[in-house]
Amino acid sequence: MGRISIARPSWDDEMRQAAITTLDSLRWVKGEQGKAFGHEFADFTGAIHATPCQSGSVALWAALRLLGIGPGDEVLVPSLTYIATATCVSLVGATPIFVDVEPEYWCISLESLERARNEKTKAVIGVHLFGQMYDPEIIEWCKNHSIALIEDAAQAHGGEMHIDGEVKGAGACGDIGCFSFFPSKNMAVGGEGGMLTTTLSSISQRMQSFVNHGRDETLESFEVGSNLRMSEVSAAIGRVQLKRLPSWVKKRNEIAAKYANSFKSLDGISVPKTRPDTTHAWHQYCLIVEKPLEFKAYLDQHDIDARIYYAKPCHHQKVFQNHHQYQQSLHWTDELGPKLVAIPVHHQLSEDDVNRVVEVVNAFTSTTN
């Protein structure tokens, strides 16, 4: 009986073959694989264009640059997220303004956005936290206030919103979408990787050239960009992973449903809710746990990985010690951060693994009560 890990990327013969064929072709950069991966990813999400790049972090930085955000501008971000959601704003010389999350779904709260908005607000970065889609009303709110909406979809490959009978994939629920293919994510590319998507025709051409030093087909540079290109091998692996993604997200949803049913009446533990009219991508399955450290240690003793997300929200981290909100309390962010404990939900779990997780979580509550 081995350890049950919190994440494990998939690797199969078709992915291996795609990598080897691409290496053998000696076309290692700027080739057909990257172009095809971008087209296929755009089709999958419903965005009008997608450009592969080197990580989710550079995708966020590029998104802000493409929207012309810089010094003097404020960008509203949740603090209950991975640090890159906030530091990308500092990297372009703008100021991140931290706002609270919703108590029931843990994504950026519309009410807090309304309170934080002022004439310097140029963008919102919404995060589909743990694969939960953010409130669809944020899309309208941003449009109504002429505020750009960057979608941090690093944890939400395969998530969806159902609005008025229309399905919008993660990556098509804002102006620019940013994905990560870090190996722990819902899909990966055999190394570091990311994807930029857009729903704006005015941006797609620039997006494509931004990752290539802002050059056009004559190789003249017309805006400051950088080399953010994804390698052809990564793109070839990503194309195969993308074909598998719907079945993986379905599997994650099945495991989440089993957990919800098994843990619905445990003392000291609450199960996560799914926003109505959305498909949760279940990048992480977090329980709200009253004794998080004991719970994590108990799972560890029983060879099951667990992680606390995010015990120290972004605005309390040293990198923001000179930020005016460093000591400020954000009620739900500070309340939830130390109590959200992720248990394994990834698509590689076997039925035995899932049963073992259910047994051990149940046993924990009987030992503590």
Ligand X SMILES: Cc1ncc(COP(=O)(O)O)c(C=O)c1O
CB of 62 to ligand X, least distance (A): 12
Which residue in the shown chain puts its C-beta closest to ligand X?
56
- How many residues are there in the chain? 369
Which residue, 59 or 203, is less far from ligand X as judged by CB?
59
Which residue, 180 or 365, is less far from ligand X as judged by CB?
180
CB of 7 to ligand X, least distance (A): 11
The residues, ordered by sequence, that sit 6+ positions from 317 with a Cβ below 8 Å of its Cβ are 83
Which residue, 62 or 299, is less far from ligand X as judged by CB?
62
Contact 94, 148 (CB under 8 A): no
CB of 298 to ligand X, least distance (A): 26
Contact 285, 307 (CB under 8 A): no
Q: Which amino acid is at 287?
A: L
DSSP 108: B
Smallest CA-to-CA distance from 140 within 174, 96, 112, 185 is with 174
Q: Three-state secondary structure along 4-49?
A: ECCCCCCCCHHHHHHHHHHHHHCCCCCCHHHHHHHHHHHHHHCCCE
CB of 177 to ligand X, least distance (A): 11
Which residue, 75 or 127, is less far from ligand X as judged by CB?
127
Which residue, 126 or 292, is less far from ligand X as judged by CB?
126
Which residue, 41 or 364, is less far from ligand X as judged by CB?
41
- Assign residue 166 a region: left if phi > 0, alpha if psi is -120 to 50, beta otherwise? beta
CB of 82 to ligand X, least distance (A): 4
The radius of gyration of the chain's CA atoms, rounded to the nearest angstrom, is 20
Which residue, 18 or 53, is less far from ligand X as judged by CB?
53
Which residue, 127 or 148, is less far from ligand X as judged by CB?
127
Percentages helix, strand, coil for the chain (3-state, rounded to 5) are 40, 20, 40
Bridge-partner residues for 177, per DSSP?
A: 151, 197
CB of 309 to ligand X, least distance (A): 9
CB of 148 to ligand X, least distance (A): 17
Which helix (H) or strand (E) segment is 116 a member of?
A: helix 110-116
Contact positions toward ligand X, by CB under 6 A? 55-57, 81-82, 84-85, 127, 152, 154-155, 180, 182, 194
DSSP 227: B
Which residue, 97 or 154, is less far from ligand X as judged by CB?
154
CB of 122 to ligand X, least distance (A): 19
Which residue, 54 or 204, is less far from ligand X as judged by CB?
54
CB of 150 to ligand X, least distance (A): 11
d(C-alpha 69, C-alpha 184), whole Å: 30
DSSP string covering 257-318, please?
HHHHHHHTT-TTEEPPP--TTEE---S-EEEEESSHHHHHHHHHHTTB--EETTSS-GGGSG
SS3 at position 76? strand
The residues, ordered by sequence, that sit 6+ positions from 365 with a Cβ below 8 Å of its Cβ are 266, 267, 268, 269
CB of 194 to ligand X, least distance (A): 5
